[in-house]
Amino acid sequence: VYIYSIMLLNDLRANFHLYAVCSSCDRMEAVNIPTLLQTLPADTPIGQIRQRVRCRGCNSRTNDIRIVYVGEGERSATFQYRR
């Protein structure tokens, strides 16, 4: 069994989508990984990204992100978070 370890921003590039989720106002927004890679080093730990997430709706920091596996290539995926 192969287990893929996601630890760095660069690990998300090919097969994952990243979503920021605000627990305060229930807002969810896709985070553009290529844009992050333009502003942050590829070896940025996911934990540091989690600490930087701020909601555009209510401006709170929730430290909540969802990493969604979408498969190889440019396949699109839909992710909905519900409580």
Per-chain mean pLDDT for the chain: 82
Q: What is the pLDDT of residues 51-64, one digit of tens each?
A: 888 898 999 988 88
* Band of pLDDT at residue 34, cut at 50, 70 and 90: very high
The secondary structure of the chain, three-state, reads CCCCCCCEHHHHCCCEEEEEECCCCCCEEEECHHHHHHHCCCCCEHHHHHHHCECCCCCCECCCEEEEECCCCCCCCCCCCCC
* Band of pLDDT at residue 40, cut at 50, 70 and 90: very high
pLDDT value for 6: 74
pLDDT value for 16: 87
pLDDT value for 42: 94
**Percent of the chain scoring above 70 in pLDDT:** 81
Give the predicted TM-score (pTM) of the model. 0.76
Length of the chain: 83
Question: How many CA atoms are closer than 13 Å to the CA of 60, on its beta-carbon side?
Answer: 12
